[in-house]
Structures are given as C-alpha cells and as structure tokens.
Amino acid sequence: MTDPDAEPDGLKEGLESSEGDPRVLVPLNAVLSTLFAAMFVWGADLVGALEFGVVTVAVVAVAVFVLTHVITRP
C-alpha cells in the first residue's frame, strides 16, 4: 500500500515552479495593500502619528503595493 501522506511525483516541483497568474496576483496585491494601508493609517491616526484620509491611505497603499511587487519578483 502507498503512504496516504506521500505526495505524487512531481507535485512539489510543479508547485515550486508556478509563478501564479498575474491577472489574479496584481488585483489581489492591490486589495490587500489597500486594506493593510487603511489599517496602518488608522492605527497611526489613533496614536497621532498620521492623519487618516484618502490621500494618506492611497500613498501608503501604493508604497506597500510597489514594495511587495518588487520583493516577490523572481
């Protein structure tokens, strides 16, 4: 009998070589960056470090988006 926890041959290699679909990755990165930026700016506003506003959230979101895009590129 085969081990039920064993991976089929080639699955690990296939998953490691997959870079994902950019049509999914870019919008997902944008949404998550915006949510993170909104929470970050809200917390910074709570302690008085930044003023919560659309422009501030947008600037932080763009910075997070670019940073994650650059870091995750192969």
Whole-angstrom distance, CA of residue 46 vs CA of residue 42? 6
Find all residues with CB under 8 Å of 52, minimum gap 6, and list them. Answer: 41, 42, 44, 45
The pTM is what? Answer: 0.73
Measured distance CA(6)–CA(38) in Å, rounded: 42
H/E stretch holding 21 reads none
Structural domain boundaries of the chain?
Answer: 20-72
End-to-end CA distance of the chain, in Å? 39
Q: Rounded CA gap, 28 and 74, in Å?
A: 18
- What pLDDT digit, counting tens, does each position of 14-50 carry? 666 677 788 998 999 999 999 999 999 999 999 999 9
Percent of the chain with pLDDT over 90: 64
